[in-house]
Amino acid sequence: MSARADHVKLSVGQFAEQFRDAMIPLSNTFSYFCASQPMSEEDLKEYLEEPIAALPPAIASTLPKISIMLVPYLERVDGAKNVPANDFVCTERPPDNRQFWASQVRMGEEEILFFALKDQEVAEYHYRFYRMIASLVAARWSDDAQSSYSSLIREELNASVHGEVDEESWHVKQALLRRQSNVRRQTKAFRDYARHSFIDTLTLYLHGICCDIDVETGPRQLASRYLRRRLNLLYSLYPPPDGYAVLPEQLKESEQR
């Protein structure tokens, strides 16, 4: 590790405390620390500058202070989910059943995001970066955004639209359909599904602004016409920076601005 740690394995909380003062500012919101070696200009651009520059202004302006820690490996002990005390930064590759790719801790008002870089493609890193950003947005989305997205999701449910954007929202959707026949009811199960669906769709939207990506087809995938409706809604809520777009018609609109 650069500014090399004295320990081979530290919990993410311990690691954040130990190397917090080594963070390098990127903007008023973002800073980073690379725990393997100094980043080249090309790596800095690919891993940090370009993904951050592609964030819609309406999202960037609402984010808390974020520190990004790029580490060799992350290990999750006991299979616990979303329990930072069980997540560890490692210099050696952990067993496959304990290896994972991202973690998060909060210190005061600051969110510290961890990403394991070794054995991970840049495209996978981008996906996980934007998924964490989408989760942060979902924790503070406006009433207007929540109402608009929930209305769209309810229309899909009323029309028995099949599929979802990603695995997590797919499973939560199936749980909702098993428990609740009247989708007009504003229940905890519906709100949970709307939130997961929003995170998965926003992840795709943000990733699509930054990079050329393909949506994988499959029996659980949301049909393209419904996916397009969702992306257009997100475009209206969170317009991309000038010169960026997801759909071709959005690029033309961006060029005319």
For tokens 């969110």, the residue is 111
Nearest one of 28, 46, 202, 40 to 120, comparing CA atoms: 46
The predicted-structure confidence for 70-90, as pLDDT tens digits, reads as follows 999 999 887 555 555 689 999
Q: What is the pLDDT of residues 14-31, one digit of tens each?
A: 999 999 899 999 999 999
Matching residue, tokens 């930064």: 89
**Sequence-distant (≥ 6) Cβ neighbours of residue 183 within 8 angstroms:** 154, 157, 158, 176, 190
Specify the amino acid at residue 70: L
- Does the global pTM surpass 0.75? yes
Q: Where are the domains of the chain?
A: 9-138, 143-256
Residue-wise pLDDT tens digits, 135-162:
999 999 999 999 999 999 999 999 999 9
CATH number assigned to the domain covering 9-138: 3.30.2010
Phi, psi of 190 (to 5 degrees): -65, -45
Per-residue pLDDT of the chain (257 residues; tens, 9 = 90+): 444 444 468 999 999 999 989 999 999 999 999 987 778 999 999 999 999 999 999 999 999 999 999 999 999 887 555 555 689 999 999 998 889 899 999 998 899 999 999 988 999 999 999 999 999 999 999 999 999 999 999 999 999 999 999 999 999 999 999 987 777 778 899 999 999 999 999 999 999 999 888 777 778 999 999 999 999 999 999 999 988 888 766 665 655 55
Is the Cβ–Cβ distance between 69 and 115 less than 8 Å? yes
